[in-house]
Amino acid sequence: MKVVLLIDFGSTFTKVTAVDMDKEEVLGCDLSFTTVNTDINEGLMLAIENLEKQIGNLDNYTCLACSSAAGGLRMVVSGLVPNVTTKAAKEACLGAGAKVIKTYGYEMNEENLEEIEKINPEIFLLVGGTDGGDKKCILHNAKILSRCKSTFPIIIAGNREVSGRCKNILKNKEAYIVENVMPKFGELNIEPVQNKIREIFLERIIYAKGITKINKLISGILMPTPCAVMDAIELLSEGYEEEKGIGELLAIDLGGATTDVYSVGDGYPKDSNVIYKGIEEPYIKRTVEGDIGMRYSIFGIMDEVGVDKISSMANLSKEKTIQIIQYLRSNPHIICKEKEFIKVDFVLAAKAVEIACKRHCGSKEKIYTSNGIAYLQKGKDLTHIKKIIATGGPLVHMAHIYNVMEYALFNNDEPESLRPKEAQVFVDRKYILSAMGLLSQLYPKAAIRIMKKELKYDGN
């Protein structure tokens, strides 16, 4: 039996998935706490030990791994116009599996420099100006960064006419030049940036996180975990060779600290009276809501929704609701079993899904023209999406997951939000998307076949 062991070093848990390549099926999955602060090998060995109790001893296997341990891939971005080049740069970072901590538009100042030094990102992305366009902003920001006391790689992906000058200004730093992330106004060119981010992640950052302590066991750490999930979602949507994909889709990964949303589709306006506004959106898009999560970021949900609304939906008193939320934040590993806790957890999950989907999907606003009523669209129109993938520990283990996922859909009370109108929900019960993204690097056909078997839809 040919076995591939797929490892995800998460910030909280290390997850392992064993796959029988001969039968193209998942043998089993298990997890343990990630021991990044001591020896990451400890948590991994415990997870493998737990897995072997389920499926028997694993004597001979190939290992592949991804990682978001120690907070994931933390990046900071600076650009010219916040809604144009800075947004394009952020899209590139998110698509590479990074977590964007801060973005700066226009020329940075000394206060920004101090903030960057405190953040101490793992990578800084410096952009600004289309090719042949503005030069002043990116040169100014390069000079600011040259005085930074913190040490981190800097990727230069702005106006190509001054990229060399920027690198010369940053000669005391680890700096790399790639193609402009926006060579023409409104045109995205994110792949060169993403390739460089991944290269730096592989060569430099995994060493800083101590993950190379297990390099004798694994065949390679291939990518950040969100990048693996994106690869899985793209494969599932697009298919591989004669193995057909399931078409355009939306995926929601609800976690304890963040909520990630992915979409595959062009998102262009579907009606003739809709005018698109802003830069083009990536066909495969990822957004990360760092303030929305079920435990570490639970207060973000409460701040966005309001405790009165949460308590009303849970049919509990305001005081009891606050007490439960505070308890869950202080005990992030708790599994809710009491009825009142389950009620609050349901509401928090539902509103987290709703908020994250609204932020990911586009919106439209009514305008009046000489030809009558028209609409301006910003972002992706995903109203036509027919399939949604639900993943993430807090979500897939929830008893009423299909009721929660209704909050991802279009709401007549908010007609401006371009969320899916009707969709089947497929549940990643074994939390295997990141594992299948890893497997797809070597065995794409097996990966899509396994996903089709494992992602469950029961007609709800």
pLDDT in tens, the chain (460 residues): 789 999 888 766 788 999 999 999 999 988 887 665 666 677 788 888 889 888 988 877 888 888 776 556 889 999 988 888 898 899 999 888 888 999 999 999 999 999 999 999 989 999 999 999 999 999 999 999 999 999 999 999 999 999 999 999 999 999 999 999 999 988 889 999 999 998 888 776 565 555 555 555 555 666 888 889 999 999 999 999 999 999 999 999 998 888 999 999 999 998 889 999 888 889 999 998 888 999 889 999 999 999 999 999 999 999 999 999 999 999 887 778 899 999 999 999 999 999 999 999 999 999 998 888 999 999 999 999 999 999 988 888 888 999 999 999 999 999 999 999 999 999 999 889 999 999 999 999 999 999 999 997 755 4
Q: What is the distance between the alpha carbons of residues 205 and 228, in angstroms, rounded to a whole number?
A: 17
Amino acid in the structure at residue 42: E
DSSP 298-348: HHHHHHHH-HHHHHHHHT--HHHHHHHHHHHHH-TT----SHHHHHHHHHH
Indicate the pTM of the whole model.
0.85
3-state helix, strand, coil split of the chain in percent (to 5) is 40, 25, 40
**Which alpha helices (DSSP H) does 98-242 contain, by range?**
110-119, 136-146, 163-169, 191-200, 206-208, 225-238
Report the Cα 301 to chain-centroid distance in Å: 18
Complete domains list, the chain, with CATH: 3-70+209-219 (3.30.420.40), 73-202 (3.40.50.2300), 236-436 (3.30.420)
Q: In a 3-state reduction of DSSP, which class is residue 28?
A: strand
pLDDT of amino acid 36 = 57
